[in-house]
A and B are shown apart, each in its own frame.
Chain A
């Protein structure tokens, strides 16, 4: 069985976890990008040094920090020639960190096969000659060294610094090869505006260390946030769904004795308000249904208990004082038994018709003759009460239905009409053409009848006479007629006309609908 709480819990937790993961990844990537951008900026800044390195007199080892830069002489002093602006000096002044131990590594090619400068310990296996298509756009990439270090590198093309052939700078810092190799000779002979290709690389280890720290931090915060989210979602759902549980508990406490209870919308959140409204309507319907059933049970108990009490009392009196027994006593006992039998048979018939256990056998009947036959047993009673009866049915009016069931319906309606029409009252029986929907309508005068009574008219065992004194009726006739009508696919309705006349209309359900 699906659970709202479980579903919400899973989805909220998954959603929050995803959000945390995206946020963590976003932070990590943006920091990484920023760090890389910083290194790239640093590389770009230092790339200018390559020109000077290429123009310096030293070979392979790259520029060395001159001693005079460590202890700078007073400016007013004469500057010796070695202190004047040389590539080494320029490098030391502008890119002091280039000369530090943790400074960048570089390599400079004059062409693909000739390395003219390179940092110590580097090989061309690690720094391969880059293919640069656009000389104005440097290329950035990552390099993994053989010792396991990783570096961020920038490859670019540039022109060599200086004018003409490099001048000798005394003995220090100048390493003039005595047995110059062809390559060295070639380098010595390079023109000043020769295009060179260089790679400068900075160790990315500090960046990776800080990124790793950040990653661990993000993961740790993520785990803590996950636990917090779990607790938060659990708490939020528990509190959020509390009104639902409260409503459920209230609903569970409803039983047949508390159907008059209505749920208050004031204590509930707005989302549950419509449900509460529907529940209250359901309670109203249930209360009506229970009330109807209670009334039916009470009425049935009365209808059955009273004749049984009569039978029992008459039998006990007859047994106790047998000398007083007469024939009328036996007849009365028989009448009571007959009354009980009629009630029980009516109840059984009602049950059969309501459950659809009876299959109608249809045949064509002339309504006028059929109705006349049904009316015959009631003529005498109508005459005794001076009731004015009019029957208006066409002699050609033919209907196809089950005559047995229709007779039951019409007999009950006629019995009802003659019983409750006051003396000097009227009964109108009219048959409409079937195409109009109405088959038969029976109206009669009534006294002390109101709209509320009309709504209960077809209820089982309902009687206008609340004291139920008259034992010849049980209040099942109209309910039985209604059930029979349904069985025939007909609809039986009653309407009150001017509060002094009631009209029963038997019509076809299909045409009405």
Chain B
């Protein structure tokens, strides 16, 4: 999952960015509204975390312009403005959620997950594929009741494929959603991550693959017949 964070307070932005990366999200961040608007329009994000009081263009204006340009990325407003009028105003401008500073990291992560689920039309945080169970809350994966040890990035790829199970997902799509701007388009990080993932979720050498490669198209997560 790829997240855009627009926050002008450096220390807070860096802390959130770090927490999100550690949680397996790809994060792009900026400290002003103009850049935030440009990034929100140019890239595809699963969630945008937006502060309201920003230099340049304020958060509500960024949100308004995003919606005007038909960018329907879920937006979570992060702000110190706590009045009902402020919340109502933010939600009416097109925000999907509102979180008041100071907030707990757990709550922020839970809200981001909820927004991601909503964008992929999933009602629960658990995705089941045959005997493969992906728990979005605990960020754990079990196969046949056994816990599989995955890195944050591997988990993110598996979760993304599971959310869109049955659909072919291109390499570039995975890059866009799982990796941030720092990843080179020419790198084979996606291929190697998929390879590692296949090995880790397989029950044994003779076990059939859950993640299939469609040559020239991408990858697809499908249940075994």
**Are both chains from one complex?**
yes
Chain A residues within CB distance 8 Å of chain B: 298, 301-302, 305-306, 308-314, 316-317, 320-321, 324, 332, 335-336, 465-469, 471
Q: Which B residues touch A298, using CB under 8 A?
A: 81, 83
B105: which A residues are within 8 A, CB to CB? 313, 316-317, 320
Are B102 and A332 in contact (CB-based, < 8 A)?
no
Q: How far is the CB of A283 from chain B (nearest CB, A)?
A: 20
Which residue of chain B is the closest to A302 with respect to CB atoms? B80
Within 8 Å by CB of A309, from B54, B55, B103, lies B103
A-B contact pairs, 19 of them (CB 8 A): A298-B83, A306-B9, A306-B80, A309-B12, A309-B101, A309-B103, A310-B9, A310-B11, A310-B12, A313-B105, A316-B15, A324-B18, A324-B22, A335-B11, A467-B53, A467-B55, A467-B56, A467-B58, A468-B53
For chain B residues 45-75, which have a beta carbon within 8 Å of chain A?
53-56, 58
Instruction: Check A332 against B82 for contact (C-beta < 8 Å).
Output: no
Interface of B with A (CB < 8 Å)? 8-9, 11-12, 15-16, 18-19, 22, 31, 53-56, 58, 80-83, 100-105
Please state if A316 and B82 are interface contacts (CB–CB under 8 Å): no
Interface SS majority for chain A:
helix
18 further A-B pairs in the complex, CB-CB below 8 A; given A313-B12, A317-B15, A321-B18:
A298-B81, A298-B83, A302-B53, A305-B102, A306-B9, A308-B102, A309-B102, A309-B103, A310-B12, A311-B102, A313-B15, A316-B15, A324-B22, A466-B58, A467-B8, A467-B54, A467-B55, A469-B54
* Residue on B nearest A299 in the bound complex, by CB: B80
* B9, B31, B81: most-surrounded residue (chain A CB, <10 A): B9
Q: A18 vs B53: C-alpha distance in the bound complex, in angstroms?
A: 74
Contact call B11/A314, Cβ cutoff below 8 A:
yes
Assess the B22–A321 pair: CB atoms within 8 A.
Answer: yes
Within 8 Å by CB of A306, from B58, B82, B101, B104, lies: B101
CB distance from A257 to the nearest CB of B (A): 10
How many angstroms between the C-alpha atoms of A214 and B18 in the bound complex?
A: 107
Rounded to whole angstroms, the CA-CA distance of A471 and B18 in the bound complex is 21
Q: How far is the CA of A248 from the CA of B54 in the complex (A)?
A: 45
Known contacts A308-B102, A314-B15, A469 near B81 by CB under 8 Å: no
For the complex, give the distance between the alpha carbons of A305 and B82 in Å.
Answer: 10
Interface contact A312-B54, CB-CB below 8 Å: no
A-B pairs, 3 with minimum CB distance: A309-B102, A309-B101, A305-B80
With A298-B83, A309-B80, A467-B53 in contact, do A320 and B12 touch (Cβ < 8 Å)?
A: no
Q: Which residue of B is nearest A313, CB measured?
A: B15
- Contact A469 B102, beta carbon cutoff 8 Å: no
User: From A316, which residue of chain B is reached at the shortest CB distance?
Assistant: B105
Task: Find out whether the CB atom of A312 lies under 8 angstroms from the CB atom of B102.
Answer: yes
Closest to B54 in A: A467
Select A301's contact among B16, B55, B80, beta carbons within 8 Å: B80
**B51, closest chain A residue (CB):** A467
Taking CB as reference atom, which chain A residue is nearest B18? A317
Docked CA distance A195–B167 (Å): 152
In the complex, chain B residues whose CB is within 8 Å of the CB of A469: 8-9, 31, 54-55
CB atoms of A465 and B101 under 8 A apart: no
Q: Which residues of B contact A335 (CB under 8 A)?
A: 11
A298 to B86 Cα, complex, angstroms: 11
- Contact partner of A312 (CB less than 8 A), chosen from B8, B83, B104, is B104
Q: Which residues of A contact B53 (CB under 8 A)?
A: 302, 466-468
CB <8 Å contact, B55 and A313? no
Which of B53, B58, B80, B81 has the most chain A CB atoms closer than 10 A to its own CB? B80
Residues of A within 8 A of B81 (CB): 298, 301-302
CA distance A466 to B81 in the complex (A): 13
Known: A302-B53, A302-B81, A309-B101. A471 touches B9 (CB 8 A): yes
